[in-house]
Amino acid sequence: MALKIRPVHKNFFLRTAFFHHQMAKKIKTVAVIVAHPDDETLWAGGTILNNPDWLCFVICLSHKSNIERAAKFTEALKALGAHGMMGDLDDGPEQKPLSDNEVQETILQLMPPLHFDLIISHSINGEYTRHRRHEEVGRAVIKLWCTGRLTADQLWAFAYEDGHRAYHPITIEDASIYNSLPPDIWENKYSIITDIYDFDKNSWEAQTTPREEAFWEFLSPAEAQQWLVDGYMPIQVE
């Protein structure tokens, strides 16, 4: 089989050197891969804030050319103590389906070509009803992990649901990992949503900002692949 070589991005060497330098100082390397600026904060911001020993790199796949949203994303990452990159995948209101290939290639162009201890991304079922991009990104990350084009010791997928729009998204209590956020961490997360992203207190985002964060945990690509096949997570019995 021919070996596939990833094209070298112009920031490849800078990002790699930066990461090697930072990795010497931090305990755990974590990549967070999300569809939109604010997803990293809404679904995982408390967990990131609560783990200052993580070296966290956030990939946001859309809105790089939206100057205002890109500036807010940069500020949010500063507040989270993270670094990151943005892409410009289509994110029109009609949510036109994107090809697997396009989503996967965008992720690869933005990711430092390094092994991560942990990758965190969307659920293949999304976090609420409904944003197609969340589901597409969740699937793409699993496929990249299964084909070895992303390498990590484990994958966590956001575990939230909204009862088919019956309520704002809440954590799925049966998920593998369930973090109840300390009040000060939640306040910090909420201020990123309201002060940095500038969402009104009555907005869907501000009202959603979860006080708990939950994740489905996968310790091997095979487990994640099974999730793609089944389409749902079986409740695990201890």
Distance, in Å, from the CA atom of 44 to the CA atom of 59, rounded to the nearest integer, reads 13
The nearer residue to Zn ion, 15 or 69, going by C-beta atoms, is 69
Give which of 1, 4, 2 is closest to 149, Cα–Cα. Answer: 4
Distance, in Å, from the CA atom of 189 to the CA atom of 151, rounded to the nearest integer, reads 28
**C-beta atoms surrounding 6 within 10 Å:** 12
Q: How far is the CB of 128 from Zn ion (least distance, A)?
A: 9
Q: How far is the CB of 36 from Zn ion (least distance, A)?
A: 3
Cα separation values, 23 from 7, 108, 144, Å:
24, 20, 23
Q: How far is the CB of 126 from Zn ion (least distance, A)?
A: 9
Length, in residues, of the chain? 238
Cβ atoms of 21 and 123 within 8 Å: the answer is no
The nearer residue to Zn ion, 55 or 172, going by C-beta atoms, is 172
Q: How far is the CB of 38 from Zn ion (least distance, A)?
A: 7
The nearer residue to Zn ion, 36 or 189, going by C-beta atoms, is 36
The nearer residue to Zn ion, 62 or 104, going by C-beta atoms, is 62
Distance of CA 190 to the CA centre of its chain: 18
Write out the residues near Zn ion by the rule CB under 5 A: 35-36, 39
Angle formed at CA 221 by CA 144 and CA 135, multiple of 5 degrees: 55
The nearer residue to Zn ion, 74 or 95, going by C-beta atoms, is 95
Cβ atoms of 46 and 71 within 8 Å: the answer is no
The nearer residue to Zn ion, 122 or 143, going by C-beta atoms, is 122
Q: How far is the CB of 91 from Zn ion (least distance, A)?
A: 9
Q: Which residue is nearest to Zn ion (CB)?
A: 36
Q: How far is the CB of 113 from Zn ion (least distance, A)?
A: 25
- Say which residue the tokens 């409740």 belong to: 235
Q: Exposed/middle/buried for 232, CB within 10 Å: 0-12, 13-18, 19+?
A: exposed
